[in-house]
Amino acid sequence: MYREIASARAALLVLGGVSWCLYLGIAWLSTAFVYGQNHLQRPILAFVSLYALAFLLYCVAVRVLPGSYRRAEVWLVLALAVVFRLSLLHSQPIQEDDFYRYLWDGKVVASGFNPYRVTPLAVRNALPDSHPEELLQPYTRILVEHPVFLQIVARVNHPAIPTIYPPFAQALFGLAALVAPGSLVALRLFFLAFDLGLCGVLVAILARLGLSPLWVLVYAWSPLVIKETVNSAHYDVVPTFFLLLGVLLVLSNRSVLAHASLAVAVLGKVYPLLVLPLFCWRTWLTQGRMPALLGLGVFAVVLGLGYMPFASAGMGLWRGTVTFAEHWENNSFLFPLIRTVLGERWLATVVVCLALGMAVVLLVRWVDMRDARAFVWATFSALGALFLLSPVAFPWYFVWIVPFLCCFPLRAWLLLSGLLGLYYLFFYYLYRGTPESFRWIVWIEYGLFYAVVLWEFLVRNRFAFPLKREGNV
């Protein structure tokens, strides 16, 4: 047993050291990704290659995890995870610019204004006017008093659309702006805090399920999580933290706090709303009707309190989200097929919503939510269905899924986390005037994924790695 642990520790050290070199290589490559410059010369293929190598090492690390463990191995996994992330802390974002919206929204909130009322484009267009209309005056004053935001607001993508980010996101962006206005590094540090906190929550969930805490490596070493959270500075890790915290609280029978945490997750991004019925049903079965209704009430109250400070925007609260839902489509596989068959996007959206609703109903009916692992499985299944059916399947949206792979390390889903790195080839083709070629990349991404799903089911007659039960020595 000790020999197995020592061998695994040595393997993890070697794999971690080589992975660190790859992340340093990605950080070095990132210097060529300067906003608005040298699109054709950007080393996109080199980045995708380094990402693929990091993913291969990650897969080997998952395979060599020992069945038994000591605390030293857990700390080694987490320490190397921190090293990987710090390697990219000061890197140039690779093909991502969403953080400009975060920085702008944060400054607007920190200045006491409402980011849902005015679009960045309206502020930019009003600035040359010495007497802009009254609604825009406070926003243009930000640009006059803090010139650093002139560049930031000019780089916000989709500037004609109000922010799509819900209230808790705005609160966090505002807090970052109070600490270090306009600083990408400060924003990354805020996200990194939630990222590492999520590792702690996952260790606690694994303990609740009787699984080795070494499985936290599946999340902590995930190249997708590291790239999208640190380098790209995507915000998705924050609502994912509160979602998984809610799962942990549900498993601990602390239903009120669990529903409150889920509400905060929804205030961060809307997607966790899908699993609200699973939280309520689990609470109903394990604690009774009144705790479930109380949890639902707490969820509603927290959600209402979150939106209250921004209520002056009226329907503007939802304008960005509605526009996103009506028009965005990228890197998805099933949704375009459904839309092509049905002929209308709105009809495809209705079908997808009905399918997701039916999936949740079936999970409630067929899964014994009283069992802790079954509840976590049901939550994972619902979110997995959402990702696969969504019209938008950016790699950073998969951050919602990766934590659940610590409990259910399905080969197909782990593979998909690596294949999603091919998304960045879209820009390679875009800059060469052939964006339609990317559709074949999407078929590769999801074709391999579904092929492994089928192989697991038909050939191996199982879906997951055999999970090692806890064996502390």
pLDDT in tens, 182-210: 999 999 999 999 999 999 999 999 999 99
Number of domains in the chain: 2
Q: What percent of the chain has pLDDT over 90?
A: 73
**219 lies in the same domain as 85:** yes
Q: Which domain holds residue 374?
A: 2-94+186-458
Average pLDDT of the segment spanning 397-413: 95
Do 119 and 209 share a domain, yes or no?
A: no
Structural domain contains residue 464: no
Q: Do 168 and 105 fall into the same domain?
A: yes
Give me the amino acid identity at 288: G
Question: DSSP string spanning 261-324?
Answer: HHHHHHHH-SGGGGGHHHHHHHHHHHH-HHHHHHHHHHHHHHHHHHHGGGGGGTTHHHHHHHHH
DSSP result, 174-207 = HHHHHHSTT-HHHHHHHHHHHHHHHHHHHHHHHH
198 and 280 co-located in one domain: yes
**Residue-level pLDDT at 5:** 61
Q: Are residues 170 and 197 both part of a single domain?
A: no
User: Which among 185, 209, 229 is the end of a domain?
Assistant: 185
131 and 216, same structural domain? no
Same-domain status, 37 and 83:
yes
Q: Is residue 12 part of a domain?
A: yes
Which of 372, 388, 382, 380 shows the shortest CA–CA distance to 409? 380
Angle at alpha carbon of residue 94, lines to 337 and 192, rounded to 5° = 100
H or E segment and range at residue 113: none
Counted residue by residue, the chain has a size of: 473
Domain boundary among 129, 164, 185: 185
pLDDT reading at 470 higher than 50:
no
Please indicate, yes or no, whether residues 255 and 332 belong to a single structural domain of this protein: yes
Residue 163 placed within a domain: yes
In a domain, 338, yes or no: yes
65 and 107 inside one domain = no
Q: Is residue 470 part of a domain?
A: no
| Last residue in a domain, options 165, 185, 205 | 185
Residue type for 207, please? A
Give 221: exposed, middle or buried? Use CB within 10 Å, 0-12, 13-18, 19+. Answer: buried
In a domain, 472, yes or no: no
Residue 25: pLDDT band by 50, 70, 90 thresholds? very high
Cα–Cα distance for residue pair 163/175, rounded to 1 Å: 17
In a domain, residue 465? The reply is no
179 with 193, same domain: the answer is no
Position 130 pLDDT exceeds 60: no
Does residue 192 sit within a domain?
A: yes
Same-domain check for residues 288 and 408:
yes
The verdict on 405 and 302 lying in the same domain is yes
Query: Which of 349, 262, 345 lies closest to 300 in space, CA to CA?
Result: 262
Nearest CA to 112 among 264, 312, 319, 266?
Answer: 312
Question: What pLDDT does 424 receive?
Answer: 95
**Predicted pLDDT at 381:** 94
Q: Are 50 and 87 in contact (CB under 8 A)?
A: no
